Chain A
Amino acid sequence: MKSCMGKILVVDLTAGTTAVEKIPEEVYEKVLSGKGLGAWYLYKNIPVGADLMGPDNILGFCSGALTGTGAFMTGRFTGVCKSPLTGGWGDANCGGVFSPAIKQCGYDAIFFKGVSEKPVYLYCDNSKAEIRDASEYWGLDATEAEARLQADCKTKKKPCVALIGQAGEKMSLISGICNEGGRIAARSGVGAVMGSKKLKAVVLAGSKPMPCADREKVMALSRELGRKINKMTLPSHIGASLALGGAGMGMMPSMPLDGSITSLIFREWGTPSNTPMAIMSGDGPLKNWGAGPAEAKGVKMALAYNPDKINKIETVKYHCYSCPLGCGGKLDIRKIKEAENEFPETHKPEYETIQAFGPLCINDDLDSILYLNELLNRAGMDSISAGNTVAWAIECYENGILTKEQTDGLELTWGNADAIIELTKKMIARDGFGNDLADGVKRAAAKYGGEEFAMHVGGQEPGMHDARNDAQLGVHFVAEPAPGKHTIGMAIQYGAMSLCDICSWAPPATMHSKAEDLEPTEKNAMISKANAAYSMLVDGAGGCYYGEMMGVHMWKLIDYLNAAAGWNYGGDHYMDIGVRIQTIRQMFNIKHGYMPADVKLPGRMAGEPALKTGPLKGITLKNREQVAMQWKAFGWDEKTGEPLPKTIRELGIDKLMEV
């Protein structure tokens, strides 16, 4: 593939060796790079029964097939491993600047196996790859360690660093991998695997050119997109109206969405724009997924999280590598009381973080969220999983399942921002009660009880979007090989993407009817399949979810891939690549005994019992039937979720695994 380097670096931390391996062209043809390359490599190389925290688990850092070609919104790297949180397939991706840095060292991915006896980091540039002592950086938070490593390793090229904070070092199962002072590949416990290997950081200072078959064509596509985005703007100070919009969305029987509208909103506010809309529409979970807006101070919450308040303290926008949109930002937080000058600035908190520590915990204190955001980013802890776990603890405390003695004296009541901060600090430090929560909600509930309040899917806490509002999301929460992820697909998103214009079998995109979404129909199963396949394709390219949401006519992924790779394939061919990647990830789960049929939505999330008030009132999902139909659409067994031999053969996966 002419946009890839054709090589990977394999580091054995037990032996202290590095080796370069060539990747056959057939692999790129079948699964691209990124998550696809990672799935292929891990399926082949992690043995059955591999200890999740042992030398046989492999941690990979995968760049994307389009990264560095000039294609916009293709700068994400994917961390892959066998997930210690679920026991099955694990991955998490992240923006920042690390993805091109992998390629600039001459590789499409770097894989780590083995376990080091002492803390180490990998240093890599154009000519060498060295395992170096990291004792002096171990114990530092991710932001501080990154700055020191950049200074200490500086040659001509400023190094890019991916690393763990204290949470990863302490092998918290809800820890991630950080870069750029607060961007984090947070999900699946990828940080815990890095910590188990005693690998503090990966420092990359290469400057090799990144190849591309037809750079002029790629640049032309990017120019077209860049000009559109540069013209996008909204009036300032209209953030409060988003709550009204959300309330309207909650009442409507069907939902329109256009990718350009999403881009416009994200350019103005970033993902915090979603908070007031989500609170009022039913998209955002409230009170540990257990209440409607009226019972959970919805209006007060929606006003508290007006994104204009965040824009007011934004000093500059932040763009990941190759992104013209810039949904991120740097915030001045010196004046908030919680920070007390401890932290001068923080990345703009994502919607997921705000929702998980705000409305999910009935916490309306924006300052506490800004502080927690920086705390979690530095520690490298997943804010989705951590927020869900804190909300569980609060509900248990309110219901007498947890006592003040058990919580180390913390008054874990709804909306107690000080207690939420203290508990989060204890989780990061694995201190006392916090130690029992640092491995996520499933394990915490197994120890203390309150399973009915523990919101996880197959062991992983779900992203902050309610399946009762968008039943397709519930299908992906369960059917996705790394369950609980919110970035695979939604019905509302499908309407904006126009996948039917690139894929012959993708159903036509219409305004989605909420009532129709609830039914287990062939059409819904094909929508779900198309969403998942395209999502895998995007991840193989190193693309961004917000590029995906723009739709195929604005962010022209198929044209980008053909131009960059020197290919001339149609959309169906590329969607097959997505199906193949998803199937290999599912095969990984089967191989390692993580059985898809055992993965279920928590009763509360499935609407059992249904909420009595609010936009989600009376909704109960037919999730199990819908998941079975999606599996069938993929060519997997509809009862077990196991990919059928015929499907594996038709996708050429059997032969690919012999390469």
Chain B
Amino acid sequence: MKAKTVPSFKYNNCVNCGICVQACPVSAIDMTRVGKNGKYANVFPELVDYDGCIGCRMCVSSCPMACIDMAAFYREQ
């Protein structure tokens, strides 16, 4: 199976604002990844629908903290 270009998140600078989630026209990303922002338990965006992602980069251009890139991934990754 071919790899597909989908969003890849760098969580270090993420401020959990959810702008990318709302920017996604097909709801392929959501605030479902539970992790820590500093000492605070928080939710972070992640790709939840690999097949649904249309690779439009709307999430990339929407992120004020420049936390999202596009990268080639296999579904299993």
Question: A residues bordering B, Cβ < 8 Å?
Answer: 68, 70, 72, 97, 100-101, 104, 156-158, 207, 209, 215, 218-219, 222-223, 226-227, 229-230, 233, 236, 267, 314-317, 319-324, 326
User: Binary interface profile of B, 11-44, with partner A (CB < 8 Å = 1, else 0)?
Assistant: 0010111110010111100100010011111110
B58 within 8 A of A: yes
The residues of A that contact B66 with a CB separation of less than 8 Å are 219, 223
Known: A209-B58, A230-B37, A326-B42. A321 touches B22 (CB 8 A): yes
B41 and A317 within 8 A (CB): yes
A324 and B39 within 8 A (CB): no
A324 and B17 within 8 A (CB): yes
Interface centre among A97, A207, A315 (most CB of B within 10 A): A207
Nearest-neighbour CB distance to chain B for A225, whole angstroms, equals 9
Report the Cα distance A70→B58, complex, angstroms: 12
A321 and B19 within 8 A (CB): yes
Report the Cα distance A361→B27, complex, angstroms: 44
The residues of B that contact A97 with a CB separation of less than 8 Å are 18, 22
In chain B, residues 53-76, which have Cβ atoms closer than 8 Å to a Cβ of chain A?
A: 58, 61-62, 64-66
Kindly report which residue of chain A lies nearest to residue B66, judged by CB atoms. Answer: A223
Known: A156-B26, A157-B27. A226 touches B15 (CB 8 A): yes
Report the Cα distance A209→B59, complex, angstroms: 11
- Of B13, B39, B58, B64, the residue contacting A236 (CB under 8 A) is B39
The residues of B that contact A230 with a CB separation of less than 8 Å are 13, 15, 37-38
B64 and A226 within 8 A (CB): yes
Nearest-neighbour CB distance to chain A for B12, whole angstroms, equals 9
Nearest-neighbour CB distance to chain A for B40, whole angstroms, equals 5
Nearest-neighbour CB distance to chain A for B54, whole angstroms, equals 9
B19 and A70 within 8 A (CB): yes
Nearest-neighbour CB distance to chain B for A279, whole angstroms, equals 26
Known: A100-B22, A101-B22, A156-B26. A319 touches B17 (CB 8 A): yes
B19 and A322 within 8 A (CB): yes
Question: B residues bordering A, Cβ < 8 Å?
Answer: 13, 15-19, 22, 24-27, 30, 34, 37-43, 52, 58, 61-62, 64-66
The residues of B that contact A100 with a CB separation of less than 8 Å are 22
Report the Cα distance A68→B18, complex, angstroms: 11
The residues of B that contact A222 with a CB separation of less than 8 Å are 64-65
Nearest-neighbour CB distance to chain B for A119, whole angstroms, equals 27
- Of A158, A215, A218, A223, the residue contacting B27 (CB under 8 A) is A158
The residues of B that contact A219 with a CB separation of less than 8 Å are 64, 66
The residues of A that contact B42 with a CB separation of less than 8 Å are 316-317, 319, 326
The residues of A that contact B17 with a CB separation of less than 8 Å are 72, 226, 319, 321-324
Interface centre among B15, B18, B26, B61 (most CB of A within 10 A): B15
A157 and B26 within 8 A (CB): yes
Report the Cα distance A227→B24, complex, angstroms: 24
Could you list some 14 contacts between A and B, CB below 8 A? Answer: A70-B64, A156-B27, A157-B27, A207-B24, A215-B61, A222-B65, A226-B15, A230-B13, A233-B40, A316-B34, A317-B37, A319-B42, A320-B18, A324-B15
Known: A70-B62, A222-B64, A316-B34. A156 touches B18 (CB 8 A): no
The residues of A that contact B38 with a CB separation of less than 8 Å are 230, 233
Kindly report which residue of chain A lies nearest to residue B49, judged by CB atoms. Answer: A156
Report the Cα distance A267→B15, complex, angstroms: 12
Report the Cα distance A219→B16, complex, angstroms: 15
Nearest-neighbour CB distance to chain B for A193, whole angstroms, equals 27
- Of A157, A207, A316, the residue contacting B43 (CB under 8 A) is A316
Kindly report which residue of chain A lies nearest to residue B26, judged by CB atoms. Answer: A156
A326 and B52 within 8 A (CB): no
Kindly report which residue of chain A lies nearest to residue B42, judged by CB atoms. Answer: A317
Kindly report which residue of chain B lies nearest to residue A229, judged by CB atoms. Answer: B15
Report the Cα distance A116→B76, complex, angstroms: 50
Kindly report which residue of chain B lies nearest to residue A97, judged by CB atoms. Answer: B22
The residues of B that contact A215 with a CB separation of less than 8 Å are 61
Kindly report which residue of chain B lies nearest to residue A330, judged by CB atoms. Answer: B43
A315 and B41 within 8 A (CB): yes
Nearest-neighbour CB distance to chain B for A98, whole angstroms, equals 10
Kindly report which residue of chain A lies nearest to residue B56, judged by CB atoms. Answer: A207
The residues of B that contact A207 with a CB separation of less than 8 Å are 24-26
Kindly report which residue of chain B lies nearest to residue A104, judged by CB atoms. Answer: B22
Kindly report which residue of chain B lies nearest to residue A226, judged by CB atoms. Answer: B15
Report the Cα distance A425→B26, complex, angstroms: 39
The residues of B that contact A233 with a CB separation of less than 8 Å are 38-40
Report the Cα distance A316→B37, complex, angstroms: 10
The residues of A that contact B22 with a CB separation of less than 8 Å are 68, 97, 100-101, 104, 321
- Of B24, B40, B65, the residue contacting A317 (CB under 8 A) is B40
Report the Cα distance A100→B20, complex, angstroms: 12
Report the Cα distance A223→B63, complex, angstroms: 9
Report the Cα distance A215→B37, complex, angstroms: 26
